[in-house]
Amino acid sequence: MFLQSLEDVKHLSVETYRKNNQAVRTPVWFVIHNETIHVITRDKTGKVKRLRNNPSVKVAPCNFFGKPHGNWISGNAKFVTGDEFEKVLRLRRKKYGIMDMIARLVSKSKGNLVVFSIMVD
């Protein structure tokens, strides 16, 4: 039910946790594939560092600036590789079009692309 509510949503706020358990909310682009939320980011970002220490997350639909406009749902994240990684890259390119290409160029200095999936509870 939650995943279906995200069909027309462009941004998702992902709450990750620092080592001291302080929450950090970040608006992200996402795609849904195989009943799972997938996020593409760069390996030198704070959210990747936090996820490596603690895979627990909360997510909620949000606007471009990260202001949530829906319920928060708990879940767990894991990093994706191989064929699934490539599939998610293609899906994001299709969903966000030229903006996907621009985002990749602008974010290059933050490392290599990584994909993490979120299984909601």
CA distance linking residue 24 with residue 46, whole number of Å: 9
- Counting Cα atoms < 13 Å in the Cβ hemisphere of 11 gives 13
Name residue 27's beta-bridge partners: 13
Model confidence at 103, pLDDT cuts 50, 70, 90, reads very high
pLDDT average, residue stretch 52-65? 97
Nearest to 114 by CA among 73, 84, 74, 93: 84
What's the pTM value of the predicted model, to 2 decimals? 0.94
Model confidence at 84, pLDDT cuts 50, 70, 90, reads very high
Nearest to 44 by CA among 89, 98, 107: 107
The domains of the chain, with CATH numbers, are 2-120 (2.30.110.10)
